[in-house]
Chains A and B, each alone.
Chain A
Amino acid sequence: MGATTDPTQRMQERGLLHAQERGLLHALEEIVGPQGLRTGAYGRAMYRRDASFLNAEPLAVAAPRTVEEAARVLRACRDHGVPFTPRAAGTGLAGGATPVGEDRRPLVISMARMDRIVEVDAAGRRAYVEPGAVNLRLGQAAARHGLRFAPDPASQIAATLGGNIATNAGGIHVLTYGVMSQHVLSVDVLDTDGVRHTLDGTLAEQGGLDVRGLTVGNEGTFGLVVGAWLRLLPVPPHTATLLAGFPSLTAAAEAVSAIVTGSRLPDAIELMDARAIHLVEDYAQAGYPSDAAAVLLVEHEGLTHGVEAGVAEAERLVRAHGASTVTRAADAAQRARIWKGRKAVAGAIAKVAPDYYLQDVVVPRSRLAEMLAEVVAIGEREDLTILNVLHAGDGNLHPFVAFDRREEGVLERVHRAGAAMVTTALSLGGSLTGEHGVGVEKRDFLCEVFGEDGLEVQRRVRRAMDPTGLANPHKVLPTPAGCAESAPSMVPTGAWV
């Protein structure tokens, strides 16, 4: 159905769509029950947005309880020609779970009622989970067997494993353990016909094309993730955590490069600037030095001698780069407080301003200091308050821009700042997004990143995985019009801020 300019015809099409929508809602009520369906203005309003500031109106919200129900929901969408947006905890930061529909409002499919950790196979070091299970709960379940789940996004108390799979999430300890994809052994997906596929990685090789790997990070555009076998790891016997305070942001960033090129790669290196430190210290009581311009958190895990050699080297390097205070966590409780502070930044930001925009760009690690200096400059230029927290060991920056949307013209400045950060990162040889995904927010940048041919390959892959185009439309890939515009838009048609 191509776009048409004839108003009468357009209204007819609208009428038809409405009939299809009504038909779908009837079918859905039968499938998920009245408890599982929200059609009212209030119920739908809660699903307008994720943790980004983009929002849009869903047709309705359906929450299946089982794979079978989910499959029937997808078939109903297909039969009625209605697009859908999968949604888990809604902590995504790129608008991936925002139900954008330029002409047809999508159905939001909530995974909230499929949230079981089905099995922990301790001997096989793996667990089977439903997509709505919260990341942290898997960690807790694994701990009872002396195991752990490595990917630990700072949002892990709320974000779900299905959401982590759909975004190929990162986290604090991915520096040596790797991003989500490395921890997904196999994934069960429903395609847009509601057919279930187990995309398998249980064989170490010869398993055919790695469609599992392709599917991780698809941001809901291939269908629904309905379950997965995830890899668990033994808890390392020894851990050491270092907290170093620096007189300048640059010194801290340069220390990161030095540590990364040292003789042992730490398992986590995080950086926080002075604003972030002050924000969370009261709450976390982690002992962050209050007069530091930046702190580094460095953690080594593993066997005793390696860990001790690693922290000794890290300590030497941070001092050589001007660290004024260096503390080592005395025990597990102090270590927990140090990490609690790091993970609390987003929650505490409300103390600074009611809204925040969180950017996610990556640069080669040797360019960190340059990139950070530029972020500071962008903040000054746009007169915005920026807090910096970084997965520094990965070169992954997360500048938080704190603002109050009621302030006249502020959104434009925030958008300009976000776009400037992206452009700077790309010019330093970096990446558009390290872990939060493309969603709607960054899709128009893909024109520049991939070029014509690269983009065409991406489009074809999407069509191969979802020939109907109903799975989370308007996400990840730019529209041809988006590529024609001179400056990428961070708020595409169909979404509001």
Chain B
Amino acid sequence: MEIAIISGKGGTGKSSISAAFATLSEKVVLADCDVDATNLYILFNPDVEGEEIYIGSQKAVIDYSKCINCGLCIEYCKFDAIYYSDQKINISSIHCDGCKLCSRICPNKAITMIDNDKSRMYYGSFRNGKMVYGKLAPGEENSGKLVNIVRDKAKKLAKENNINTIIIDGPPGIGCPVISTITGVDYVIIVTEPTLSGLKDLQRTLELTTKFNLNTVVIINKFDLNIKITEKIENFCEKLDIKIIGKLAFDPQVVAAMINCKSIIEWQPASDLSSQIKHIYNNLIYGQ
């Protein structure tokens, strides 16, 4: 069973809940698909057993000994990445999308493409099973391809090690990486907070999961910070027939656990919050 935990925006406690779930199971594969801000390896300090280079895109570079300053490449680049200054042609690596068109049309073959090869996928063991995570290098396109690679590896590790449950910590937003994270999973859990912006993000995220026809449930985290908005979220979900599988109270111990590199389950196994999360998790895994 694959469970993806996402939220319209970061900071709702999504990663802390993923970490709690991961430490509730005897054996899991934990996949950190928030490749633009990987965090869970900090808590779990996995023994890395392998890494793979991920090449998601390319960038154009100019060989000035060949460039004849004809300016043709500027005209062709749809991303406004090429410009003329200091009496020469420049390519902004920030704006270059790697489409290779300039390199193809340059009459003097002055432009070559180089791979962006700084991003990585890592995998290894941690105390509750196996872990896979991706690290996107700064400025690379977060297209969801790295997410797919992380998920494929997680599935492979699950099979090889006879593990039934894969927990996926997803990225924020509603774009391509999120779609890659949730496509084909058994459950999507959206973690939200009782704020007006949280409600708005939840609406956008639900729009997406409905579009893909996914089994979606909601957890309201820190629900006691604003009871009125919590009620609003409850009403909203009821109307859409979306199940709220838990309301978790604000607990400063969540941060204390993080500082000690533990999940809340490991840090305070007997606390109210921990038993509530345990309950949610068991219902999800065994309750159907």
Q: Do A and B come from one complex?
A: no
Q: List B residues at the A interface (Cβ < 8 Å).
A: none
Q: List A residues at the B interface (Cβ < 8 Å).
A: none
